[in-house]
């Protein structure tokens, strides 16, 4: 099992404030003999509306571009595993709003969001609240 991200509990609180129910944390998905762990599984209102959330932060990274490459690779890997498992959950990347003042607000970030159709939850760290959903 992987370690919780720095803002894992912040995102859990923000989702709960937005009327989401946390179904599980550190959710295990298997592909053959390999295991990946997705941070959060949550539902809202109806069982059909279930999502996975992978939490990331962009503080104190040596290279924002290298970190973006790593996060994008992880996101695409998890999305492929979810789809190949015939699961209905959508995968969201939870990012602090400061990430949008940085690399995600730049042309490179906008290109990646658009090209790969990233689903993102932007959250406020201090208020522990969701600022915006990008779908």
**One pLDDT digit (tens) per residue for the chain, 135 residues:** 667 788 999 999 999 999 999 999 999 999 999 999 999 999 998 667 899 999 998 877 889 999 999 999 999 999 999 999 999 899 999 999 988 888 999 999 999 999 999 999 999 999 999 999 999
Residue 101 to residue 103: CA distance in whole angstroms: 7
Per CATH, the number for 8-134 is 3.40.1350.10
Cα–Cα distances in angstroms (integers) from residue 28 to residues 37, 81, 115, in the given order: 5, 11, 28
Instruction: Say what the pLDDT of residue 59 is.
Output: 78
Question: Can you give the residue ranges of every domain in the chain?
Answer: 8-134
């Amino acid at each position: 099992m992987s370690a919780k991200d720095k803002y894992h509990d912040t995102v859990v609180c923000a989702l709960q404030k937005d009327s989401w129910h946390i179904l599980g944390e550190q959710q295990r998905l298997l592909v053959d003999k390999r295991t990946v762990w997705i941070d959060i599984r949550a539902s809202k209102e109806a069982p059909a509306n279930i999502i996975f959330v992978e939490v990331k932060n962009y503080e104190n990274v040596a290279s924002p571009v290298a970190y973006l490459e790593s996060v994008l690779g992880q996101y695409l890997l998890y999305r492929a595993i979810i789809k190949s498992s015939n699961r209905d959950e959508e995968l969201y990347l939870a990012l602090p709003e400061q990430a949008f003042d940085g690399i995600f607000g730049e042309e490179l970030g906008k290109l990646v969001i658009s090209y790969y159709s990233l689903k993102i939850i932007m959250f406020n760290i201090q208020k522990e609240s969701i600022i915006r959903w990008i779908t």
